[in-house]
């Protein structure tokens, strides 16, 4: 991994080997593989476990500065690129503090393995719209829900429909409310609906569907791959205003 300083300017000039590098407004650009990426300030809300924790790891791997907001401690080594805020996503002061310097925000709030009724998702969404209106922030918010929320529930397999009805109906009803509140607001949003989550290593091989169709067959996906998609969308949000379904196959 290499870095170079990218100076603010209005014209992209040919600079030899860097003549084809994408122009960024400011910051330090990091070389990963065959691409230069802009070093960003990324906020991750709901970062202590699951997809949120994997997203923190992935963002740090890609050399971004990361601010996290979570109720619990995060089990990661100290890093100069990591600021951890212990607080609540439904507390206005905590939420404002976490996003105040962000270039992009990734929302991965969750209730863990709990299946009982909750209002966490809709409560967070209501507060987020208030904060956005008050601050007029126009950074992208990439929001994780799950395949089964909103209209996607109709495209689950027969067995998954039964499982959702028996065990996840209330949780996904509130995730749907969160989607509705955010997508009807002035927030720059992207909704990400991964399939069944697995704890397996990163592959960077996954399918992202932006349309629902018969036979879409959204199956399982590694949390690490969801994290990879989220961070890359924070870097270059190509799917704003869309619902993205994710699956490894």
| 8-state DSSP, 187 | S
**C-alpha distances out from residue 181 to 102, 175, 197, Å:** 21, 10, 25
DSSP 3-state assignment of 76? coil
- Burial class from Cβ neighbours inside 10 Å (0-12, 13-18, 19+) for residue 28 reads middle
The 10 Å CB-count burial string (b at 16+, else e) for 197-218 is: beeeebeeebeebeebeeebeb
Band of residue 36 on the pLDDT scale cut at 50, 70, 90: low
Band of residue 172 on the pLDDT scale cut at 50, 70, 90: very high
Where, residue-wise, is CATH 3.40.50.720 in the chain? 40-247
- Sheet with 188-194, side-by-side order of all strands: 82-86, 65-70, 41-45, 104-107, 140-144, 188-194, 243-247, 207-209
| 8-state DSSP, 44 | E
- Burial class from Cβ neighbours inside 10 Å (0-12, 13-18, 19+) for residue 91 reads middle
Q: pLDDT at position 10, please?
A: 37
Tokens at 131, concatenated = 């904060």
In this predicted model, what pLDDT tens digit does every residue of 185-230 receive, in sequence order? 999 999 999 999 999 999 999 999 999 999 999 999 999 999 999 9
Is the per-residue pLDDT at 26 higher than 80? no
Kindly state the average pLDDT of the residues 26-45: 68
DSSP 3-state assignment of 215? coil
Kindly state the average pLDDT of the residues 128-139: 92
Contact 246, 229 (CB under 8 A): yes
HSE, CB side, 13 Å, CA atoms: give it for residue 3. Answer: 9
Q: How much is the pTM?
A: 0.85
CATH number for region 40-247 = 3.40.50.720
Contact 112, 51 (CB under 8 A): no
Q: Which residue has the tokens 């962000």?
A: 102
Q: pLDDT at position 112, please?
A: 80
Q: pLDDT at position 27, please?
A: 40
Contact 183, 191 (CB under 8 A): yes
Minimum mean pLDDT among 2-11, 74-83, 120-129: which range?
2-11
Is the per-residue pLDDT at 150 higher than 90? yes
């Amino acid at each position: 991994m290499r870095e170079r300083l990218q100076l603010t300017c209005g014209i992209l000039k040919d600079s030899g080997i860097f003549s084809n590098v994408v122009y960024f407004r400011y910051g330090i650009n990091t070389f990963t593989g065959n691409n230069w990426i802009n070093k960003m300030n990324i906020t991750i809300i709901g970062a202590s476990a699951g997809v949120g924790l994997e997203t923190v790891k992935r963002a740090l791997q890609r050399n971004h500065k990361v601010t996290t907001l979570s109720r619990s401690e995060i089990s990661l080594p100290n890093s100069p690129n990591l600021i951890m805020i212990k607080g609540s996503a439904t507390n206005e002061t905590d939420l404002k503090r976490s996003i105040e310097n962000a270039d992009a925000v990734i929302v991965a709030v969750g209730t863990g393995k709990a299946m009982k009724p909750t209002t966490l998702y809709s409560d967070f969404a209501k507060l987020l719209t208030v904060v956005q209106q008050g601050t007029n922030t126009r950074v992208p918010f990439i929001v994780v829900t799950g395949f089964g929320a909103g209209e996607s529930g109709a495209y689950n397999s027969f067995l998954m429909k039964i499982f959702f009805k028996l065990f996840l109906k209330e949780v996904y009803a509130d995730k749907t409310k969160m989607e509705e509140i955010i997508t009807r607001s002035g927030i720059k949003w992207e909704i990400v609906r991964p399939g069944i989550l697995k704890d397996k290593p990163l592959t960077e091989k996954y399918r992202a569907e932006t349309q629902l169709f018969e036979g879409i067959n959204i199956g399982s996906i590694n949390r690490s791959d969801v994290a990879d998609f989220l961070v890359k969308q924070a870097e270059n949000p190509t799917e704003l205003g869309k619902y993205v379904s994710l699956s490894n196959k």
